[in-house]
Structure 1
C-alpha cells in the first residue's frame, strides 16, 4: 500500500471509531492509561474507570515451587501479559528457559518475547484454542510436562484440556485479579456520558457492576469468551466479542459494529 493509501486507511479508521464517540475503559489504572493513549491516537475519547487491580503472588513458597518445576518442564505456558510479568518477578531469567514457551494471543506473545527472549508457539485467542494447538503440534507424547503460570482466579479450562490431551500439568498461580469493591451508591452510567464500555476480563465485569448502575443503553465490547459469559451472567447485553484478546481485537470489534450500524439491518451479524 502506498503512502496515500495508508493515510486514507488511517483516516478511515479514526472516522469509524469517532462514530462510536466516548469509550469507558474498565481495566486496571495502569492498563487503562495505555489503552487510553492508543484510542487517542485514533481520535477516540475515553473515560477511565479502574474496575480491578492486579496483585502478584510473590511468596517464598511460590518462588520455590517455580524454581523446582521450571527445570523439569517441557512447555511453559502463559495466557496473559500479567502472567509473564508476574512469572519474571518470581523467576528473573538469566537466559531464556530451556523448555518451550507457548502463549495465548499476540499481546502475550509480545510480552513473553520481550521478557524471555522467544516464543515457540502462539495459540488462538482462548485457552481452549491454545490447548488444541498444543495437542496438535506440541508433541505432547514426548514433551508432556507442562508448567502453567496463571492467574489465581483463572478457571481450570486449560489444565483440563491439556490433561485430556495427555499432558502432565503443573499449575502455579503467579498473580490474582481483584475486582473493585461494591460501591454504595453505585454511579449511574448516564453520568459518565459514554457510548461504549470495554470489558477485558471477568474480574473487570464484576468490578464494573459493583461500581456502575447501567441506567442507559450502551454498547458493550468484551475481549473473549470468558468475559462475554461473565458479562451475560451479570445481565449485560454484549454488543460484540473480540476475535483476538488484545487492544487490536477490541478495536476491530468496535469498527465492525460502527460500520454495521451505518449499513442498517441488512448487515451480517
Structure 2
C-alpha cells in the first residue's frame, strides 16, 4: 500500500471567507478531514461527500483527543494511503502545535505540507476596527501566548523586556490568566492607562469586544462575565476602534441566518447576507432533480413553434427548459411569434440572457399577478406552454383553461426533500446560534418542517425565539399552516425584497 499525504492547514480565525485558496483546495481533496473547535463548520461543506470527518476539538476544560493522540491519528490515516487534511483555526504555526504533528510525520517517513492561515492576532482586531500597527501609534507588534504549557515550572516570557519592547501586544488564549498578564505588564513598566481590547469569537456573528485599560480591564471582564476564546490586544492602537469599527456596524452583524434554498440556488442569497455582515448557514431543504419522465418535454419541444404563449414562473423553470432545448438540438427561433410572460425580475433576467425579450412581467410577482397582467390579451383557443416544477401550484393552468385556452404543462424539474445536514441545524437551533430563518418558497418551509421532524424533534419548540422571514404571501400561508410565526414578509417577492425584510427584522 502506498503512503498517503498530510496537509496541515490554517482555517483562519472563524469567517470562512478568510481561508486561503490553497487551504480550500486541500479541504476539497481530503479523504480524511481532521478538524478542531475553532475552524468554521461551514468549511466542512467543501469536503467531498465520501470524506471521513474526524472532530478533535479542544476546550479549556475538555479535550476530545490529547495532542499526542491527534499526532498519531494523522500518521495512522496517512499510512493507510489516505490524503489527510488537518484543519486548524488561525495559522497552524502560531500556537497551533503544528511542529509536533509535522515531526511525527517526518519520523514515519510521511509526506506533508504546511499551508499557512490568517492568524487571529491580526484578523480579529481588524474585524474589531483595530489595525495592529499604525504609524501614529506604533511600529512594532508582538504575539504572545497567554496560556503556556502548564507542566513547565517557570514562564518563558521575559516580562521585563516584553512589557515595553513593542507598541502592540496580542495575547492568545489568555483570558483565564488576564489578571497575571495585566499585573506583569504594569509591574515591568507598561503604563496602567494603556488601552486594552478583548475580542471574543472574532470575525463571527458572536463577536464581542470589550475595551478598557490595564487598570480597568480585569474588573470589566468580571462584571461582563466575559469568557474565552478571545484575543487580548494591548496598545495605543486600541483607540482607533471608536473610529474604524466597520464590521460591527454592518446591518446584519450578529445574525446567523439559515438559508433554506436549494443548494444550487443558495449561494446568491448567502453572498448577499454575508456582504451585510451576517453569517449565512445553508440548509438546502430542497434537491432539484431532472424529471423521471422526459417524454412530455420532448413532445412539447417538437411543437414549440405552435404555441401562442410560453409562460415561465421561476428561474429554475427557464434554466432547465433551455438545457433541454440544447440537448434536443431545438433552435431557439422556434419560439416564433409566441409571447413570453414570466413571474419575477430574476426569471426575466435569465430569459433575456438567452436573447429572449419578455413581453409581460407583472408588478405582482405571483401567478395571480401574472394572470391579471395578461388577462386582456388572452383569447379562447390559444395554446399555452407552462414549463414548471412538478410541485407547482395548479391555479394558473386551471384559470387559463377556464378561459378557453389549451394548456400544456411540462415538469422541467422535480423537487425532493434534502435533510442531509438536519442534525447540524438541530444542534445550532438547540444552542440558540440561529437568529433568523429565511423561506423562499412554500416547499422550503414544508421541507424544513419535515426534515427536522424526521430527526425526532419538536420543530415548533426548536425554533421558538427565532425570527422567520417569508418571501411572499403564499410562503407565509404555508408557514402559518405549519404553525410557524412569521416575523416579517418581504414587500417584494424577490431576493432583494427578502434581504431587505431580513435587515428590518434584525433591527427588532
Structure 2 length as normaliser, TM-score? 0.45
Decide which structure has greater helix share.
Answer: 1
Within 5 Å, which residues of 2 pair with 1:162-201?
Answer: 162-181=400-419, 187-188=426-427, 189-191=429-431, 193-201=433-441
Secondary structure, aligned partner of 2:378 = coil
1:134 and 2:134 aligned:
no
The residue number in structure 1 matching 2:361 is 122
Shift of 1:181: 4.9
Pairing 1:82-93 to 2, within 5 Å after superposition:
82-92=316-326
Where in structure 2 are the equivalents of 1:189-268 lying within 5 Å? 189-191=429-431, 193-212=433-452, 213-214=459-460, 215=462, 216-258=464-506, 261=508
Q: Which runs of 5+ in 1 are unaligned?
A: 1-10, 262-269
Query: What's the CA shift for 1:100?
Result: 1.4
> How many Å separate the matches in 2 of 1:257 and 1:181?
27
1:106–1:143 distance in 2 versus 1, CA, 3 Å: farther
Q: CA deviation at 1:30?
A: 2.2
Secondary structure, aligned partner of 2:345 = helix
> In the aligned structure 2, how far is the partner of 1:130 from the partner of 1:192?
40
Q: CA offset at residue 252 of structure 1?
A: 2.2
RMSD of aligned C-alpha atoms?
2.6
* Residue matched to 2:204: none
Alignment of 1:97-112 (within 5 A): 97-98=335-336, 99-112=338-351
Counterpart mapping for 1:5-24 below 5 A = 15-18=250-253, 21-24=255-258
The 5 A counterparts of 1:71-90 are 71-90=305-324
Long gaps (5+) in structure 2 = 1-245, 453-458
The whole-number CA distance in structure 1 between the counterparts of 2:252 and 2:441 is: 22
2:273 aligned with 1:34: no
Does 2:334 match 1:94?
no
1:132-181: CA deviations, max 9, x gaps?
11113xx2127832111111111201112223344322111111111225
Residue number in structure 1 paired with 2:286: 52
- Which runs of 4 or more aligned residues in structure 1 lie more than 4 Å from their structure 2 counterparts after TM superposition? 181-186
Deviates more, 1:236-245 or 1:45-54: 236-245
Q: Matches of 1:17 and 1:186 in 2, distance apart?
A: 20
Q: Secondary structure at the match of 2:391?
A: coil
Change (3 A) 1:227 1:200: same
Aligned length: 245
Q: Relative to structure 1, is the Cα distance of residues 185 and 250 closer, same or farther in structure 2, using a 3 angstrom cutoff?
A: closer
Cα distance in 2 for residues equivalent to 1:191 and 1:69: 55
**Relative contact order higher in (CA < 8 Å, ≥ 6 apart):** 1
Deviation, structure 1 residue 47? 1.0
Question: What does residue 383 of structure 2 align with?
Answer: 145
